[in-house]
């Protein structure tokens, strides 16, 4: 249902209550600070839109196109972004606590200082993503692709990284206490100063080329 087509300036900042706009087209829309709590934007095209400081708690964005979207400091806790496209999106300081990001494409996305505590990133693609200082405590990154991603100073305490691909990733000063890295790929990764106390490293691949990790 493509019942909303809009490009450019959109005055949704004062909208209150659930919105149902599956398939909506909001390319380049200005939704800064908008209240979209509980809204349904399944299959919507929100590419290049501004959602900075937006309130999107429990919002459904399944398979939505959010490429290059500005989501700085937005609240997306418990939001559903399964299969969404967040390529090159700016999620600096964004709250994604308990969000569903299963299979989401976050290639080149900026997640600096973002909060992803308890988030589900199973099978997500984060190639070249910047997660510097992000919090992923207890997050599910099973099978996630984090090739050449920046995870400097990130908190991955108790996170599930089973089978994750961290080839060439930067994990300097990262906290991986009690994290599960079973069968993860760490070829060429930089783990200087990382805390791996209690971490599971069974079947990890590429340890011989990993920097800063005691073999």
Helices (H) and strands (E) in the chain, counts: 0, 0
Residue pair 156/136 in contact (Cβ under 8 Å)? The answer is yes
Residues contacting residue 56 through CB under 8 Å, at least 6 positions apart:
36, 37, 39, 74, 75, 76, 79
Residue 23 pLDDT:
66
74 and 93 Cβ atoms separated by less than 8 Å: no
Cβ atoms within 10 A of the Cβ of 213, count?
18
Query: Where are the CATH 2.160.20.80 domain residues in the chain?
Result: 12-100, 116-215
Pick the CATH number of 116-215 from 2.160.20.80, 1.10.10.10, 2.30.30.30, 2.40.110.10: 2.160.20.80
Does the pLDDT value for residue 16 go beyond 80?
no
Q: pLDDT tens-digit profile of 51-98?
A: 999 999 999 999 999 999 999 999 999 999 999 999 999 999 999 999
Residue 9: φ, ψ to 5°: -75, 125
pLDDT tier, 26 (very low <50, low <70, confident <90, very high otherwise): confident
Architecture per CATH, 12-100 = 3 Solenoid (2.160)
> Using CA atoms, how far apart are residues 57 and 99, in angstroms rounded to an integer?
9
Spatial CB neighbours of 110, under 8 Å, sequence gap ≥ 6: 89, 90, 91, 92, 129, 130
pLDDT digits (tens, 9 = 90+) for 135-163: 999 999 999 999 999 999 999 999 999 99
**Interval 25-48 mean pLDDT:** 92
Task: Report the pLDDT value the prediction gives residue 162, as an integer from 0 to 100.
Answer: 98
The greatest distance separating any two alpha carbons of the chain, rounded to the nearest whole angstrom, comes to 58
User: What is the C-alpha to C-alpha distance for residues 21 and 8, in angstroms, rounded to an integer?
Assistant: 17
Dump pLDDT digits (tens) for 98-132: 999 999 999 999 999 999 999 999 999 999 999 99
Does residue 192 have a pLDDT over 60? yes
Is pTM, for the whole model, over 0.95?
Answer: no
What is the spatial distance between Cα 182 and Cα 162, in angstroms, rounded to a whole number?
5
* CA geometry: angle 63, 69, 73, nearest 5 deg: 110
């Amino acid at each position: 249902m493509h019942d909303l087509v809009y490009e450019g300036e959109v005055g949704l900042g004062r909208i209150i209550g659930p919105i149902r706009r599956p398939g909506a087209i909001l390319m380049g829309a200005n939704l800064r600070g908008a209240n979209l709590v509980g809204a349904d934007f399944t299959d919507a095209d929100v590419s290049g839109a501004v959602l900075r400081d937006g309130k999107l708690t429990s919002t459904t964005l399944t398979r939505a196109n959010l490429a290059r979207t500005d989501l700085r400091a937005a609240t997306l806790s418990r939001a559903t972004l399964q299969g969404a496209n967040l390529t090159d999106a700016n999620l600096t300081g964004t709250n994604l606590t308990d969000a569903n990001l299963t299979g989401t494409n976050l290639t080149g996305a900026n997640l600096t200082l973002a909060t992803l505590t308890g988030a589900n990133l199973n099978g997500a693609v984060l190639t070249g993503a910047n997660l510097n200082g992000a919090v992923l405590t207890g997050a599910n990154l099973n099978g996630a692709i984090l090739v050449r991603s920046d995870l400097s100073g990130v908190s991955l305490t108790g996170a599930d990284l089973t089978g994750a691909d961290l080839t060439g990733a930067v994990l300097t000063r990262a906290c991986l206490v009690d994290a599960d890295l079973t069968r993860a790929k760490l070829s060429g990764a930089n783990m200087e100063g990382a805390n791996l106390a209690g971490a599971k490293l069974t079947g990890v691949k590429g340890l011989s080329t990993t920097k800063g990790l005691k073999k």
